[in-house]
Chains A and B, each alone.
Chain A
């Protein structure tokens, strides 16, 4: 009997011991993945970065208000049209993806794609830093994404340092792509490293020009060297863009958005400018105003179009829209599941960046050629767009039209003033982002002051000062809990302790 007890005890202790050993195994979910491929991580991070944040017509319409390309005519004013936001904060959500990028590179170690994924990781990190600093000012960069190394509260780098670090990372990314092989999982360029290389170079030009008020002579020289090396985008085929498809997970956000489109007008700023330039993009962007059609105007007539003043009060806009006073968004935008791709960075923008730099004397060259190449590229882009094959009101853009575009107001003001020429460049650059949902290029408008966005203090919803343009977004409120000391230091150093949207970050001073 005693013996039996001992045997039993031994069995029990063995069972206990072995179940302890198995704990890890038992407590690991067999249905969850403990490892994945670099390509899957790349797809996810590219999608989360470049896809429109919440693809539905309502949010898409809102996103196209900020840069004054369009106006909403609903009675309840949308703050985004009136220089404020339902959510006046920037965010560091993109930096969370640094962990994703780290895993992506680690998992590609030793494969032939390692260098390409390193390049992609650095390019995206630089893009996150660039957007974050333009949104808010000083932001974490050198210590960002290092929780695994024990840095839970990364310090905020000075904006000037962020710009420098972003430029270095873009340069390093270019070098990695140069050694890399075409890779999988890439929804932007289909894994073509030559296109990624060109983009890394062109992005450096953009970053340098964005800090034009603060740029050093070495940085100007760097700009000139990149232009001279000439490994840059050469046409629309190099455009950095996200193409939508018929697949339900990747349709255009405005598809099926008729319920929103009937309240969504093209802005007066866009319509007046396109009329002035006799630019047929007007017929691609807009529907004619109903009251002008009723008055006998034809849809292929520039005079049948009228834009909505974005600064007008919402109820006045609503009333006017009810009587058909405005040109609404072209119906073709809601008709196609795939629709127009979302342009993030184009050959045309690169042309305008260089044209401006030539005018400013950063680099030598013929600004007129760059201006014309940029405009032509955008016109060709619309000419060749499958989703714009119909619905252009009988005014389709043709090669013949493009060849004769540069007359009158559209001709480069070679004999005019430098300011006139710069304004032509800036206006064309601003037109690129019409209804892209890509956030626009607001920092460029703040930097150049052109085009002049209409602002009426009586309708501005800016909570701190109705007479000025907001310059930034506030830091996310969570920072006050999760990174309080660095947050406080950042607003004390830059903004006298007040985290407001009209405070001026370094690059605009």
Chain B
């Protein structure tokens, strides 16, 4: 059981003052949230069972555990319609989320003698977060928000498609996005793993740390921008060349259909309520640039990305590699040092990713982020 009280001042009801808001005049706003009485700290209870075994004179250790962490009394500025005069009401909502997972750790020392030692460590874990209770008022009303369902939906807008066949529907030759959200899958990975090993020979030791995730969805902003700006290698196409050769011409015909007649209506969440559309094969051209911009439409300034840029997070990373030489003590006499070592260290040495080719999925969000840093260096350590 753990409790997290709100941070100091967060439940204060105060005016915000804007000095020099217009010309020389100052302005002020009342708070946008209501602060109720009797707010409780956010709480969680954790249930955990584990099994640990050590055999072969502690040369092999296995640890297996299962946990179920239930989080509740979320402190939330529960959304109010601004038509009420406030946008939030600071309360503990009734929603309850459980995080359940397995963790396995294996550590072992298969080799150990005077000159050689090999230590190996492996860990593997999996988890998922589920709604175990919903707040009648304040929980999301999206169709995928249900008790027992996962909370980590990747919400985005799909292209408008023919409901029966899934063919893309073009409008004046251009792709169209649905006006309603869809759930494209889960963002939390299926499982995570890590491995490290230390190999020592006399005074020399080699350390290696590998880890990675498997599964889980994530949007790539970098590739979306590469497509939109025309620098993606795959965007060099025949249609694009023709567009450029004759300015003003349109040479790309998207594969799919167009609406010839009829109309469609939807309910609040985007389910079709009536549909009289009649289709014909799309024969209206657009420019390849326009098509690429439409297909990969997204912006770091907000809004959902395109399903065309939704990738699997799966990657493997050689996170650290180091070679250390411990200087024997006999060489240290003249230096008054107790110990000394020299290491060559490399961090983020190697990355392999299933889908991400131009950016690093490590970090969970890729919003046109800078390339990750590769660090290569040398440490000299002296202990006096």
Residues of A within 8 A of B (CB): 27-29, 32-37, 39-41, 43-44, 46-47, 51, 75-76, 88, 91-96, 98-100, 102-103, 139-140, 144-148, 151-154, 185, 187, 245, 247, 249-250, 315-316, 319, 458-459, 461, 463-465, 478-484, 488, 497-500
Contact = CB atoms under 8 A, between A and B. Distances in A.
B376 to A, nearest CB: 42
A152 B289 CA distance: 47
A482 B268 contact: no
Contacts of A148: 34, 85-86
Contact of A484 (B21, B141, B289, B290): B141
A43 B86 contact: no
B1 interface: no
Contacts of A484: 141
Contacts of A482: 79-81
Contact of A102 (B34, B85, B250): B85
19 contacts: A32-B12, A35-B15, A41-B27, A41-B29, A43-B26, A44-B21, A88-B179, A92-B82, A146-B84, A154-B83, A245-B23, A249-B23, A315-B287, A319-B247, A319-B248, A464-B263, A482-B81, A484-B141, A497-B273
A480 B141 contact: yes
Contacts of A497: 267, 273
Given A27-B9, A463-B176, A100 B81 contact: no
B364 to A, nearest CB: 26
B20 interface: yes
Contacts of A37: 28
Question: What are the 6 closest A-B residue pairs judged by CB atoms, nearest first?
Answer: A44-B27, A145-B85, A32-B14, A147-B84, A96-B82, A40-B28
B30 A91 contact: no
Interface in B351-384: none
B84 A459 contact: no
B86 A99 contact: yes
Contacts of B333: none
Contact of B85 (A47, A146, A483): A146
A499 B268 contact: yes
Contacts of A99: 30, 85-86
B141 to A, nearest CB: 5
Given A47-B22, A144-B83, A461-B171, 16 more contacts: A29-B9, A32-B9, A32-B14, A43-B25, A92-B83, A94-B82, A144-B84, A145-B85, A148-B34, A152-B84, A187-B25, A245-B23, A463-B179, A480-B141, A481-B79, A500-B265
A297 B27 CA distance: 51
B266 interface: yes
Interface in B261-281: 263, 265-268, 273
Contact of A33 (B20, B25, B28, B287): B28
B34 A147 contact: yes
A4 to B, nearest CB: 34
B89 interface: yes
Contact of A187 (B20, B23, B138): B23
A43 B27 contact: yes
A103 B247 CA distance: 59
Given A33-B14, A99-B30, A497-B267, A249 B85 contact: no
B83 A139 contact: yes
Contacts of A44: 18, 21, 27-29
B138 to A, nearest CB: 8
B226 interface: no
B40 interface: no
Contacts of A480: 141, 268
Given A33-B15, A43-B25, A144 B85 contact: yes
Interface in B24-79: 24-30, 32, 34, 79
Contacts of B140: 481
* Binding site secondary structure of chain A: loop
Contacts of A96: 32, 82, 85-87
Contacts of B26: 40, 43
Interface of B: 8-9, 11-18, 20-30, 32, 34, 79-87, 89, 138, 140-141, 171-172, 176, 179, 247-248, 250, 263, 265-268, 273, 287, 289-290, 293
Interface centre among B8, B14, B82, B265 (most CB of A within 10 A): B82
A37 B26 CA distance: 10
A131 to B, nearest CB: 13
A505 B269 CA distance: 22
Contacts of B82: 91-96
A151 B290 CA distance: 47
A36 B17 CA distance: 8
A43 B22 contact: yes
Nearest to B177: A463
A464 B15 CA distance: 43
A153 B30 CA distance: 20
A65 to B, nearest CB: 18
Contacts of B30: 41, 99-100, 103
A90 B46 CA distance: 44
A458 B250 CA distance: 15
A140 B83 contact: yes
Nearest to A184: B25
B239 to A, nearest CB: 14
Nearest to A93: B82
Contacts of A153: 81, 84
A483 B81 contact: yes
Interface centre among B21, B140, B287 (most CB of A within 10 A): B21
Contacts of A139: 83
Contacts of B267: 497
Contacts of B172: 458-459
A28 B15 CA distance: 12
Contacts of B81: 92, 140, 152-154, 478-479, 482-483
B89 A152 contact: yes
Nearest to A141: B83
A95 B172 CA distance: 39
A44 B16 CA distance: 11
B221 to A, nearest CB: 18
A194 B313 CA distance: 65
Nearest to A86: B303
Contacts of A88: 179
A35 B15 CA distance: 7
Nearest to B269: A480
A253 to B, nearest CB: 14
A40 B27 contact: yes
A41 B268 CA distance: 37
Contacts of B89: 147, 152
A304 B339 CA distance: 87
A148 B85 CA distance: 8
Contacts of B263: 464-465
Contacts of B138: 481
